[in-house]
A and B are shown apart, each in its own frame.
Chain A
Amino acid sequence: KQEVTQIPAALSVPEGENLVLNCSFTDSAIYNLQWFRQDPGKGLTSLLLIQSSQREQTSGRLNASLDKSSGRSTLYIAASQPGDSATYLCAFLGDRGSTLGRLYFGRGTQLTVWP
């Protein structure tokens, strides 16, 4: 069974710091992974999607990497800002043979960036 673990569960940092959020998974048979952002009381916003054949994806101050062999993904946030405060979720799409389109979610890392 696919298990997704996100560490740390919560993180509080001053503005300007560079951050690394970690995500690990137990089954390497993944098709792709997505990192999402969730603001309190809101839906999920897709940040980055990495295909299983890729090593990383970048969007602005965000960089996500994928290492299937070690079962890990990281989300790097450069020069953090208070507006980055949110819960960050990673989710994997299982490879063929899994339930179509089913995303396996971690429980998230709650990030607070203070001025």
Chain B
Amino acid sequence: NAGVTQTPKFQVLKTGQSMTLQCAQDMNHEYMSWYRQDPGMGLRLIHYSVGAGITDQGEVPNGYNVSRSTTEDFPLRLLSAAPSQTSVYFCASSLGDTDTQYFGPGTRLTVL
């Protein structure tokens, strides 16, 4: 199993550009989520999904969209990038919402 994979590893955007961060898991997990990690702060939940077709907002959802068309994939879209979205983004998955969560390697995003 590859576990949780994320692409790209690094990305530089200009303010106003859009992009999609990819996340995939091959463990048949129902629960998937996106976190951002900023210096001096704990990881914060952006969006989550409890299964294909079901998504909901986390703690810091503004500026981000998600969809879940398959069990395996959970992409995160930045519609109009802002410097405040400079961060490291982690995708995680688990069998259910109360089970051990497995994290991907992260995407380091810089918005100029």
Contact = CB atoms under 8 A, between A and B. Distances in A.
Nearest to A9: B40
Interface string B21-42: 0000000000101010000111
Contacts of A108: 42
Interface string A79-115: 0000000000101010000011111111110000000
A107 B44 CA distance: 11
Contacts of A46: 100-103
B102 A101 contact: no
A112 B79 CA distance: 40
Contacts of A34: 100-101
Contact of B42 (A32, A99, A100, A104): A104
Contacts of A107: 40-42
Interface string A44-68: 1110010000000000000000000
Contact of A101 (B48, B59, B103): B48
B73 interface: no
B58 A99 contact: yes
B98 A43 contact: no
A103 B40 contact: no
Interface residues of B, number: 27
Contact of B48 (A43, A49, A89, A102): A102
Interface residues of A, number: 25
A4 interface: yes
B71 interface: no
B101 A102 contact: no
A31 interface: yes
A101 B43 contact: no
Given A101-B31, A103-B43, A103-B45, A43 B105 contact: yes
In the A-B complex, the 3 residue pairs with the closest CB atoms: A105-B42, A101-B97, A44-B103
Interface of A: 4, 31-32, 34, 36, 41-46, 49, 89, 91, 93, 99-108
8 contacts: A34-B101, A43-B4, A43-B106, A46-B100, A46-B101, A101-B101, A102-B59, A107-B40
